[in-house]
Every structure is written in structure tokens, then in C-alpha cells.
Amino acid sequence: MSITGQCLCGSVRYEFDNPPALSGVCHCRNCQRQAGSAFSTIAGVPRAEFRLTAGEPKLYEDTDTVSGNRVERWFCGNCGSPIYSALENSADMIYLKTGTLDDTSAFSPQFHVWCDSKQAWVDIPEGVPAMATQ
């Protein structure tokens, strides 16, 4: 059975067959701005397994990053929902924004990254790895 998701307006839809390879939370300032929230929840899905089933997301190339790496930020051009990000140093993986999943019940962060820019009021559960940067 495929795992499915979509943007807020339903214009962009996707699916993939296997559970995500990883799941985490990014606290970098760019993800905060892109998500309009304190962090971005992500699920790593092999690019080869990810299929768009409706619509075509728009691309914003984020080159002003602390790491110096270019981040492709794909989003719905109608409603603005972020769909996924792709990193140039991880070409075989996309980082799906988990809020777009049709069923989010299986999401459980395995790690937190860029915690040096985490909002002070956000608590990271004990035992979950938390990296200052990436």
C-alpha cells in the first residue's frame, strides 16, 4: 500500500511505497522561515521511490544557508504549502515535509538538527539525538 500526501489545496499530490528511511526535525532559521513555525518536520524518502501523482510543485533555490549548501525547496504554487526539500550533498534523497502526509500517525523524530538555532521554548525529548548543526 502506498504512502500518500498532498498540499493544503490538493493541487500537488504524491506517493511512495516504503516507509521513510529517516525522520527528524530541523531547527535551522531557513526552515523556520519556510515553515512559518519553530521548526520543520522531515522524512527522508529515496528520490527514486517518490512519485508526483498530481500537479507540479514550484522551486525556490535557497542559497543563503549557514551551511553554505544550496537547498531546493519545492512548494505548491497555489497554496504555498512546502512539499519537500532536496540537498545538493544528498542527491539520492528528498526530505518530505511531514505535515503534508495524509496519515501523520507514524511520524516520530529520530533526531533534531541545527539545534543551535532552536527556539528557546522548544523542548527536545530525552534520549533523542540533538546536533548543534547538521
52 within domain boundaries: yes
- 13 vs 30: CA distance, rounded Å: 24
What digits encode the pLDDT tens for the residues 5-63? 999 999 999 999 999 999 999 998 999 999 999 999 999 999 999 999 999 999 999 98
Residue 68 pLDDT > 80: no
Residue 122 pLDDT > 80: yes
Write the CATH number for 92. Answer: 2.170.150.70
Give the total number of structural domains in the chain: 1
pLDDT at 110: 95
pLDDT at 58: 98
75 within domain boundaries: yes
31 within domain boundaries: yes
127 within domain boundaries: no
Across the chain, what does the average pLDDT equal?
94
131 within domain boundaries: no
- 3 vs 14: CA distance, rounded Å: 8
Residue-number span of the structural domain to which 106 is assigned? 3-117
pLDDT at 73: 96
pLDDT at 49: 97
pLDDT at 133: 85
pLDDT at 25: 97
72 within domain boundaries: yes
pLDDT at 89: 85
For the segment 90-105, the average pLDDT, to the nearest whole number, is: 95
21 within domain boundaries: yes
134 within domain boundaries: no
Picking from 112, 65, 74, the residue whose alpha carbon sits closest to that of residue 95 is: 74
